[in-house]
Amino acid sequence: QKEVEQDPGPLSVPEGAIVSLNCTYSNSAFQYFMWYRQYSRKGPELLMYTYSSGNKEDGRFTAQVDKSSKYISLFIRDSQPSDSATYLCAMSAENTGFQKLVFGTGTRLLVSP
Amino acid sequence: DVKVTQSSRYLVKRTGEKVFLECVQDMDHENMFWYRQDPGLGLRLIYFSYDVKMKEKGDIPEGYSVSREKKERFSLILESASTNQTSMYLCASSPFQARETQYFGPGTRLLVL
């Protein structure tokens, strides 16, 4: 079993829809949770990061962490065609100095006009 | 903005060749990382460095070595390229005070024939 599981998709939605992207994990030591966006043939771009449980909002994006369920989510409101990309979740734990990230394999999102 | 650059976007090499991939960051970050990204496997850590001349093995170091002679530059070396090293190689950096927030370069697509 992988430490971090993520549905590969593709997830297809119409423009303006609310998108929910999710990851589950098995290591309860994870404390930092990141979301990256990766456009085709480009490097990942850090979107958001949160520490421990709770919500964090940045514009149209909301990151949510539920440590009791070992489940994290990224919500995108009013989705745009430019949001079409692969979204990677990543996590780190104190016992690796927080610098060793464990990534999900990514969910491909397609937003149609 | 953090800028991480990689020396080549695309490379084609022959089996047995020695391959050098260069990465430079301009934000004075202490930590630098090399990953490879393969479909269905996600990002896997090859090596990382937390200081000049310091290096740590990641999850898949076999067949690779690294060099960090200057703080801003981190090189990945394939001593004798093999076809199973065909992949997308991504460099990242992070500051000491926020080690979990890694910033990625655009990637190098390496094809080994």
pLDDT tens, residue by residue, A47-98: 998 988 889 999 999 999 999 999 999 999 999 999 999 999 999 987 776 6
In a mutational test of the B interface, the residue from A38, A47, A99 whose CB has the highest number of chain B CBs within 10 Å is A99
Chain-chain contact of A46 with B100 (C-beta, under 8 angstroms): no
The pLDDT assigned to A98 comes to 62
Q: Shortest Cα distance from A99 to chain B (angstroms)?
A: 5
Q: Which two tokens stand for residue A92?
A: 């780190």
Which of B4, B33, B107 is closest, CB to CB, to A42?
B107
Higher pLDDT, residue B100 or A37: A37
**Contact assessment for residue B52 and residue B40, using Cβ atoms and an 8 Å cutoff:** no
* Per-position pLDDT tens, chain B of length 113: 669 999 999 999 999 999 999 999 999 999 999 999 998 888 999 999 999 989 999 999 999 999 999 999 999 999 999 999 999 999 999 988 777 789 999 999 999 99
Q: What is the CA radius of gyration of chain A?
A: 14
